[in-house]
Amino acid sequence: MLRPGILGFFSLMAFFVVVPFGLFRSSRAVPLPLMIAGAVALGLAYGAVKAENPWAGDGLSANLRLMAVSAAALAAYVALSVLVARAIAKRL
C-alpha cells in the first residue's frame, strides 16, 4: 500500500490546489496565451537540461522528443489549471 506521508500530502496539495489557483490569480494580469507560451519555453528549457543523450545521431531525436513532451505537458498543465480554476471561481 502506498504511504506518501505528510510531505507527499503537501506536495499533492501544492500540485493540485495551490499552483492552479496561483496560476489563475496571475492570469488576471498576464493573458492565458502568454502564460502558455511561457510554459512551453520553460518546458523546452527543462527538456534541454534533463537530456542525457548526446546531441548527435540518434540522441538528437530522443532529446528533441523529450523537450517536446516536456513543453506539451507543462503547457497542458497550465492551461488546464487556469481553465478549471476559472470555472470553480465562477461557481463560487
Q: Using one digit for the tens of pLDDT, what is the confidence trace for 31-49? A: 989 999 999 999 999 988 8
d(CA 39, CA 80): 12
Q: Report the pLDDT averaged over residues 13-36.
A: 88
Residue that is written with C-alpha cell 470555472 in the block? 87
Closest CA to 75 of 31, 43, 52: 43
Percent of the chain residues past pLDDT 90, beyond the cut: 33
Confidence bin at 2 (pLDDT 50/70/90): low
What is the DSSP secondary structure assignment for residue 7, as one 8-state letter?
Answer: H
pLDDT tens per residue, range 44-91: 999 888 888 777 777 888 888 889 999 999 999 999 999 988 888 888
